[in-house]
Structure 1
Amino acid sequence: MDDLALHAHLIGQQGSRSALNTPVLVLDIEKLDRNIATMQAFADARGVALRPHAKTHKSVDIGRRQIAAGAIGLCCAKIGEAEVLADGGITGLLITSPVSAPVAIERLAALAKRGIGLMAAIDNPDMVKRWDDALTSAGAMLEVVIDVDPGIRRTGVASPEAAVAVAEAIARSSNLTCRGVQYYCGMQQHIEDYAARRAAIVDRTDYLQSVIAALTEAGYQPEIVTGSGTGTHHIDLELGLFTELQTGSYVFMDKQYLDCDLANGPVPPFETSLSVDARVVSANHDALVTIDAGFKSLSTDGGAAQVQRGAAPETMFMFMGDEHAALIAPDIGTRLRPGDPVSLTVPHCDPTVNLYDHYHVVRGDTLVEIWPVSARGRAR
């Protein structure tokens, strides 16, 4: 049975969260809305636009809430995500990863014809020609930003000179307009110490300034400087180079970001709105119980999940296979019994969300809505 068949009848029933079949992805709508408002307020106070990254939530419903709060659009990692969000009425989309497969370029051109305010990142002069030809065939125009490599060597031009070469190719095209540059320092987002993270970002910002200077000298001064992330937004706003932020995980706050000092203070600026609810399925040992959420229910790239409620926060979590994990603590097997609920803070929110079909939206302990993970699996 799918989520709607299992749980739609619980919507509006007081305390219905406890009746959900587990494992299940749960979203606290009040915390979500506070997180959205907080990030928007940070950006507004600095006069910076907010274009949140939808690769985190993959949700038309959440995207609409971000737009309603003041975001100018959303970012998407893949063309498939952008297609889903555009179909859901979201405008101002920016595709942040290179689009290179021939069929994907055709889809990009088709989306440019119907998607209001669509932009895409590009980092190669050869791709400019391919995109331009596809846009000519589709009868469409497309605005682009030049992706700049901050040192990850994943995507982006590798030097200021390479950025100028891409800008020159765009200027020669018939259907592309260069709006600026994109710069995402992914390696620096999860440096836990604030001072160390700030020092790393100051260094990378100096490099970005050299790219912008080269483009400006060549006659291609960027109008848009887009990038940043949840881990560095506070620093990037202070440094003042970005014209828009692409923050994503702030809406949920996973353990990776909770381990970071995001704003140079003891209190995180955002709340944990996302959890995976699970249940104890076996309790035959004093210091260990087994729950029904394993590799198939939680991302494994961000370390261990953390107990949010149902057991002590210091309880140790350990994966025990596809379907199971262990909670380990003194006497936990005498305090928790099969069927008892536990809630987990996820290690890494983006890939965890992609494991589920729906968000179970709660207000307090009551299920109030069920939202689809609209762009789940749209990785191409």
Structure 2
Amino acid sequence: MSDDMRLHGELIGRQGSRDALNTPVLVLDADALDRNIAAMAGLAAARSVALRPHAKTHKSVDIARRQIAAGAIGLCCAKLGEAEALAEGGVTGLHLTSPVVTPPAIARLAALAGRSEGLTVVVDHPANAERLAYAVAPDAVRLGVIIDIDPGIRRTGVASAADAVTLAETIARHPTLRYRGVQFYCGAQQHIESYAGRRAAIEDRTEYLRTVIAVLTAAGHAPEIITGSGTGTHRIDLDLGVFTELQVGSYVFMDRQYNDCDLTDAADAPFETSLFIDSRVISANGQGIATIDAGFKAMATDGGPPVIVDGASESAKFIFMGDEHGAVIGPDRLTIGDRVTLTAPHCDPTVNLYDSFHVVRGDTLIDIWPVSARGRSR
């Protein structure tokens, strides 16, 4: 039994049980989550584009199953350990978006390919393709391979169209590998707050992607799959019509970084915040300040401070006060024990700090879902 289930299992189904949770605690609004999943699935289906959401956001078998039930063809995983965790939960159609290069990891990947239907992995160097080819058993299912194209951030990916062709030819020489297509993820553009600025940046990068695809096609390696995009650029990428599938992730939760972006160039927000951190006031002895039990250890800090969404007035602000503590600064007269609800500044690494999602409907705890791939970063 998990510690979260030990502490809170008896609260499941009890009216108003959210208020009885030990804090800090990661809370997930089930109805908002399902609306977000349905909204993205509808957008992709309307353009006949496949949806392969990124599990690095939620690391959850339960959420992956909901996405597949809504029409997703599989899930993306940033790390091999995430893919193993989802495969253990019966999730298929997995795609690894980062290269797998070390001998022990390649051995694990080869084993996973034998038990996970539709597994694919990116490569960006011929030497990596060669090692993968020799690790896969000749009588096993051929491993699907996708060429990673660098969009200009120099993190991973081939550096030119010529390099993409060289890599495709290497893959084609090996009967244990199956060339499937290309990946192009513009991570640096996802959080450009202005829609116009983000669209201009993506249009520029998409033109480069088109040139690489044209060169591959002329060389006899037309990609069957063109995968990429993200929550920040999904509408733009659907309009541009190059991707055959979307790797969107954070749309299921939304966080401060994405809520600060104009995703659609329209007044309405396409997705709702569904992920929250509930905390409690533990000290309120100063004028205009109260201390809560959520600090650096309760959320990722690379996205700035969280936004207070409940428990204090709109003018109240949060500041970090240390590993275990935060402060609510504002006009409210908070008292010890008051609940203060925060949004996550950056959802992906925040989720990785917790063992479980406490799933609520209204103020009632309805379930506890494990963060299935928490810590599976190898």
- TM-score (structure 1 length as normaliser): 0.98
State how far apart, in whole Å, the 2-side matches of 1:2 and 1:226 are: 38
Q: Distance in 1 between matches of 2:138 and 2:316?
A: 59
Residue 93 of structure 2 aligns with which residue?
Answer: 92
What is the aligned partner in structure 1 of residue 301 from structure 2?
A: 300
**What is the Cα-based RMSD across aligned positions, in Å?**
1.0
Partners of 2:48 and 2:140 in 1: how far apart? 35
2:120 pairs with 1:119: yes
Q: Which residue is equivalent to 1:163?
A: 164
Q: Percent identity?
A: 66
Separation of aligned partners in 1, 2:336 and 2:61: 36
Please list, as runs of the form range in 1=range in 2, the aligned pairs for 1:27-42 lying within 5 A after superposition: 27-42=28-43
- Write the mapping of 1:10-159 to structure 2, written as runs, cut at 5 A: 10-136=11-137, 139-159=140-160
Q: Does the Cα contact within 8 Å between 2:65 and 2:91 map onto a contact in 1? A: yes
State how far apart, in whole Å, the 1-side matches of 2:316 and 2:233 are: 30
Q: What is the distance in 2 between the residues matched to 1:355 and 1:120? A: 26
What displacement does 1:140 show?
4.1
Q: Is contact 2:283-2:335 (8 Å) kept?
A: yes
Q: 1:202 — aligned with what?
A: 203
Secondary structure at the counterpart of residue 377 of structure 1 = coil
Per the alignment, residue 228 of structure 1 pairs with: 229
Tell me, yes or no, if the aligned pair for 1:182 and 1:227 is still in contact at 8 Å: yes
Measured in 1, the distance between the counterparts of 2:215 and 2:372 equals: 40
Q: Give the aligned partner of residue 375 of structure 1.
A: 373
Q: Distance in 1 between the 2:85 and 2:69 partners? A: 18
Letter paired with 1:374: S
CA drift at 1:137: 6.9
Q: Deviations over 1:233-285 (max 9, x none)?
A: 00000000000000000000001000000011122100000000000111111
Partner residue in 1 for 2:325: 324
Q: Which residue of 1 aligns with 2:335?
A: 337
Q: Flag as ranges the 4+ runs of structure 1 deviating above 2 A.
A: 136-140
- The structural deviation recorded for 1:172 is 0.8
Q: Secondary structure at the match of 2:68?
A: helix
Contact 1:109 1:140 in 2 (8 A): no
Q: In 2, Cα distance between the equivalents of 1:138 and 1:119?
A: 17
For 2:20 and 2:119, how far apart are their aligned partners in 1? 42
What is the match of residue 265 of structure 2? 264
Counterpart-to-counterpart distance in 2, 1:288 and 1:137: 66
Q: Which runs of 5+ in 1 are unaligned?
A: none
- 3-state secondary structure, aligned to 2:298: coil
The corresponding residue for 1:240 is 241
SS in 1 for 2:136: helix
Cα distance in 2 for residues equivalent to 1:55 and 1:268: 23
Q: Distance in 2 between matches of 1:230 and 1:312?
A: 29
Query: Tell me, what secondary structure is at the counterpart of 2:239?
Result: helix
Distance in 2 between the 1:315 and 1:302 partners?
Answer: 18
In 2, distance between residues paired with 1:313 and 1:53? 32
- The question of whether the paired residues in 1 share the 8 Å contact of 2:41 and 2:72 is answered with yes
Q: Deviations over 1:180-201 (max 9, x none)?
A: 1001000000000000000000
- Supply the AA of the counterpart residue of 1:367: L
Flag structure 2 segments of 5+ consecutive residues without an equivalent: none
Is this contact kept in 1: 2:138–2:176, CA < 8 A?
Answer: no
1:311 aligns with 2:309: no
1:222 to partner: Cα distance: 0.6
Note the C-alpha offset of 1:125.
Answer: 0.3
TM-score (norm 2): 0.98
Q: Residues 17 and 365 of structure 2 are in contact (CA less than 8 Å); yes or no, is this contact kept in structure 1?
A: yes
**1:293-329 alpha-carbon deviations (Å, 9 max, x no partner):** 0111010111110001111233211111110011111
Task: Provide the secondary structure at the position in 2 that maps to 1:97.
Answer: coil
Q: Structure 1 CA distance, aligned partners of 2:324 and 2:213?
A: 49
C-alpha deviation, 1:174, in angstroms: 2.0
